[in-house]
Amino acid sequence: MNTSRRTVIAAGLAAGVAATSAGTARATTGRAPTRTLFGTLDDGTPVHLWTLARGGIRLGVLSYGGIVHRLDVPDRHGRLANIALGFDNLADYVAKSPYFGALIGRYGNRIAAGRFTLDGHTHQLPLNDGANSLHGGTKGFDKQMWHVEPFTHGSRTGITLSRTSPDGEMGYPGTLKVQVTYTLTARGEWRIDYAATTDRATVVNLTNHTYFNLAGEGSGPVSDHTLELAAARYTPVDAGLIPTGELARVSGTPFDFRRTKPIGRDLRQGHQQLLYGKGFDHNWVLDKGITAEPEYALTLAEPRSGRVMRVSTTEPGLQFYSGNFLDGTLVGTSGRTYRQGDALCLETQHFPDSPNHPAFPSTVLRPGATYRTSTVHTFSTR
């Protein structure tokens, strides 16, 4: 623990964190997020890259899609690497991104046939994933401009992204006011707090779609990364990746990550669920359930670099997607192609297609209530 703290701190020097002679770290006071022009949309809208640095971590976020463009984290020798897949230019994010780093809304993952009924009204969403609606539709939150406000409070620094999603946007009812805050802390944490209110009953399920490779983006497959997932059950899917409604036990299946194991160990088992997803692309039912404060969900580790990421969340579900649809056709931030399994996503969420599964935890938001969820990623080394 001591060694890993020191590693984080050493690298912190490069990322704007001061160390005292005693070896303890304190954040450089007043170091506010910086803003640079990243690109311009076809309609002339400027897109900015916001850079935050604290606790040895550096996070770059775009005002387009709330996209995590890069996430620089130290290895056990204090060397920083960008562990988030992305592009080096705006045009690629607009034209062909498989949700790299994006803020996902209004609804993370799939809604069957893009249809749900709420209070007797049936709502039809755009179908952008075969017969289903995925990640909020054809122009979800990942493709919208966000208003960004920076802040620095003591040991924390961050940005708040906000936008109002008009009533009926992408077929969803209600004017949805959304605020998402990305915070870095002096303790090596990247925290996301989501909040939303509505003026009409609607459904909401927000998440972040960062593709992680703890050895660095573009460095090859993540099959040697180890994962521990505190979940005894998962939600099996049909051929269209829609949950069947069953909460199946992971015991005796490739889906059992209760004891840490390499991601690649069972990935090639001839299990029907792995065939449907072309790998892992499933929602795990976190043992902790919905919690008021973020509680432990998983640990991801990469043996060569020693980088470790722990995730805690208030959410009841976790979509673990093993980068199955990356196919070597995209050239990433540092000029290398991304091939199948070169990254994984760990999307904290409510379960996919919940509006059509009354037994799943509800994703309904009503006027007067505030949607609030939080997820914390804590980085260290071993």
**Among residues 347, 350, 357, 377, which one is catalytic?**
347
149 in active site: no
| Dihedral sign from CA coordinates of 37, 38, 39, 45 | negative
**Is residue 47 within 8 Å of 63, Cβ to Cβ?**
yes
As a whole number of angstroms, the distance between CA 115 and CA 118 comes to: 10
Nearer to ligand GLA, 197 or 322 (CB): 322
**Is residue 213 within 8 Å of 219, Cβ to Cβ?**
yes
- HSE, side-chain direction, 13 A CA sphere, residue 296: 8
Nearer to ligand GLA, 52 or 83 (CB): 83
> What track of x and - describes contact with ligand GLA for positions 224 through 253 (by CB under 6 A)?
-----------------x------------
Contacting range for ligand GLA; rule: CB under 6 A; set: 160-168, 247-255, 257-265, 317-325 = 317-325
Amino acid at 192: I
Residue 98 contacts ligand GLA per CB under 6 A:
yes
As a whole number of angstroms, the distance between CA 284 and CA 229 comes to: 8
Minimum Å gap between C-beta 130 and ligand GLA is 10
Minimum Å gap between C-beta 273 and ligand GLA is 13
Q: Which of 64, 141, 257, 321 binds ligand GLA (CB under 6 A)?
A: 321
Judged by CB under 6 A, the chain residues 53 through 72 that form the site for ligand GLA are none
3-state secondary structure of 335: coil
Judged by CB under 6 A, the chain residues 15 through 54 that form the site for ligand GLA are none
Residue 171 contacts ligand GLA per CB under 6 A:
no
> Which strand (E) or helix (H) includes residue 193?
strand 189-198
> Which strand (E) or helix (H) includes residue 165?
strand 156-165
Q: Is the peptide bond before 106 cis (omega within 30 degrees of 0)?
A: yes
Nearer to ligand GLA, 184 or 242 (CB): 242
Minimum Å gap between C-beta 210 and ligand GLA is 11
Q: Which of 62, 83, 134, 242 binds ligand GLA (CB under 6 A)?
A: 134
| DSSP structure string for 38-78 | EEE-TTS-EEEEEEEEETTEEEEEESBTT-EEEEEEE-TTS
Minimum Å gap between C-beta 283 and ligand GLA is 8
Place of tokens 């961050």: 158
209 in active site: yes
Binding site for ligand GLA (CB under 6 A): 98-99, 109, 134, 241, 281, 319, 321, 325, 345
Residues acting as catalytic residues: 209, 347
